[in-house]
Structure formats: C-alpha cells, structure tokens
Amino acid sequence: MEFRAYDELYDLPSIVVDGRAHKESVLVLSHWRNSGTAKELIRDTSTEIVLDFLEHNELPKNVEYVSNDHFDEDGLIGIFAILNPEYALSKKSLLIDIAQAGDFQKYNNRQAARIVFTINALLKEESGFISKDCFKMTYPKMAAEFYRRLLEVLKDIIEKTEDYKKYWIDEDNFLTLSENLLRDNLVTIKELEDNSKKTDLAIVTMPNPDILIHEMAIHNKTRRTQIVFHRGSYFNFKYRYETWVQFKSYSYPLRVNLSSLAEELNSNEKNQTTWDYEGSSKITPSLKPSSESSIPFEDFLNMLKTELNNSEVDWNPNE
C-alpha cells in the first residue's frame, strides 16, 4: 500500500481517507457528509473510523493506493494508519487525539496538540520543510506533496515530539497563556441553557477587546457547538467544526441559515457596520460584523436565539 495523489488515481482501485469517494474507490473511511462511508463505521474523526476498521477488518485485497482529496491532520493521521496499521493501533488513543486536535481544536494529551502545532509550522513556507516551488502548485498537487513529506517524518514527530520543540513552542505558549486567562477569569465562558435543545450556545466574553485566545483553550472548556465571542461592542457567532461532519459522540442542534438574521442586523445598525453570514456549507461559518456594532449585545443575543430556534435546518451532515 502506498499514498498516491488524488488527482493521479485515474482508474486505479483505491482507499480514500477523510474525503469523498473517488470514482474507483473500493473503500471510503471518512466522517464527511456524503462521503460514501458505511453508516455503521461512522465515528467522530476519520482517523477513528480507520483505526476501528483496522481492528476488526482486513483491508481490501488488490488495492495498492490510499489517498485524500484535501490535506488536514485527520486525513494525514488516517492515511498514516492505513500505511502503518500495527504501529497505528499501538498508538490508537494518541492518534485519535491528534486528529481531533487538528479538526476540532481540542485535546486530551498535550502531546497531541504539540504534534498538530508542529505539522502546522512545518507547512509554512518560511519553515523550509516544503520546497518553495510546492506553494506555486495547484491545490491538489500541493496537498499531495504535503502528504508525501509529512508521511516521511510523522512517526519521528510522534516518537520524538520534544525534538521538534522549535516548531511547536510558540503556539504552545499561546495556548498556555489562553488557558491561564480562563483560569484567572480574565476570559469567561457562560453556557446558556435551553430545554428545547434547539440552541447549544456558549458565550466567550473578553472584557479587554485586544485579548487573543487560542480556540483549543475554549473548546477544552466547553463542548457547546454554537459559540458567541463578545468583545465590548464587537461580537460574532461561530459554528464549530463538529457540526459540519457526521459526529457520533453526542448530538447537537443542526445548522440553520443565518443570512436573514444578517439582513435584520444590518437594518438595525445605526453606523456603517455590515453583517455577513458565510454560509452553512463552510466548515466553521461565522456570522460577523465588519466593525464594532451599534446594537446592544443583549439585543443581538436575543435575535440570534430566536433565529436558531425558528429557522429551518440548511446543513445536515447525516443526509
């Protein structure tokens, strides 16, 4: 078994991990919507789907290639597991943790977060790990090169994470600072209760509008999937990644289209601020203003709750 670029699969039988089926895919192991993955295999991350499959099944015979149509950590770890099944199963918990740190920005073991930080740092052009010519390629070819290079070193990163400290230390320090802000109540998270289960809101309040906070610090404190960020007169709403994929661990309200709310907010603004909703098909779509809002925060929050409660679902990852 070997990795092959998605756009070079042609008519070759293949396994696809974390993306959508290729026309000649024999097996698809992905948490994506409409991926072609059997429903009984679905888990939170594609990596967990792969590892559970490897524990209980044999890989299809006469299939030599594994691929994915995009690059991310979940895809990387899942493909690595296909190529190194015995080693991957011996590291199952850590590999799943890396995948969820990459996709969902949450972790159990700090090593998983540091491995994700290392991967992100290595993929920056200035790191020199990836050739400069790679960044001039079309996305499919660039993503394939990312896979090839990282598959060469991933085991070493897992086994010797401390040796890669220069790559992960800056983001790790930012995460520590963010966790300390929450510990000291300089940033707070309030989960709003809703007996109807139509909303799943948490409000992240930053009294100092200049404060930056790492998403992992927030997501490790709340599993709420609808997040409102409140910085004085600037506030915005965001759906978490978990609501974009087929997710097994717990249920949450499905996404609704907030475009009409954006229009309503625009009609209520008394300054030049304009609101925009990115669309529910985006991975982590936001409803956000172009600048500080003239609308009182409580009014915005009530309008948002009304919309979340009454609007029709327009993204269901399970269909």
234, 295 Cβ separation under 8 angstroms: no
Q: Which residues is 188 bridged to in the sheet?
A: 205
Residue 178 lies in a domain: no
**Pairing relation of β-strands 25-29 and 14-17?**
parallel
Indicate the residue among 138, 170, 202 that finishes a domain. Answer: 170
- Predicted confidence at residue 208, as pLDDT, reads 86
Same structural domain for residues 37 and 149?
A: yes
Task: Tell me which residues of the chain have a pLDDT lower than 50.
Answer: none
In a domain, 259, yes or no: yes
Whether 299 and 273 share a structural domain: yes
Supply 115's token pair. Answer: 């491995």
Count of the separate structural domains present in the chain:
2
Shared domain for 24 and 110, answered yes or no, is yes
SS (H, E, C) 182-212: HHCCCCEEEECCCCCCCCCEEEEECCCCCCC
Torsion angle of the four alpha carbons 98, 104, 108, 109, in this order, in degrees rounded to the nearest 10: 30
pLDDT score recorded for residue 195: 80
* pLDDT tens for each residue of 94-116: 999 999 999 999 999 999 999 99
Find out whether 41 and 29 touch, Cβ atoms under 8 Å.
Answer: yes
CATH number at residue 243: 3.10.310
Ranges assigned E (strand) in the chain: 2-3, 14-17, 25-29, 65-67, 188-191, 201-205, 226-231, 234-239, 255-256, 275-277, 286-289, 313-315
Residue type, 21: A
Question: Which domain range does residue 288 map to?
Answer: 186-315
Give the position of tokens 């918990």.
Answer: 93
Residue 91 near residue 81, CB atoms below 8 Å: no
Final residue of a structural domain among 170, 196, 222: 170
Q: Are 82 and 15 in contact (CB under 8 A)?
A: yes
pLDDT of residue 207: 87
Domain assignment present for 199:
yes
50 and 107 belong to one structural domain: yes
CA 169 vs CA 33, 62, 128, 260: distances in Å = 35, 43, 17, 42
User: Same structural domain for residues 194 and 166?
Assistant: no
pLDDT of residue 209: 81
In a domain, 179, yes or no: no
**Domain ends where: 139, 170, 201?**
170
Q: What is the pLDDT of residue 196?
A: 78
Judgement on whether residues 29 and 160 belong to the same structural domain of the protein: yes
Q: In terms of Cα–Cα distance, which of 208, 250, 246, 206 is closest to 228?
A: 206
Model pLDDT, residue 194:
87
pLDDT for 176-194, tens place per residue? 999 999 999 999 999 999 8
- Flag whether 279 is in a domain: yes
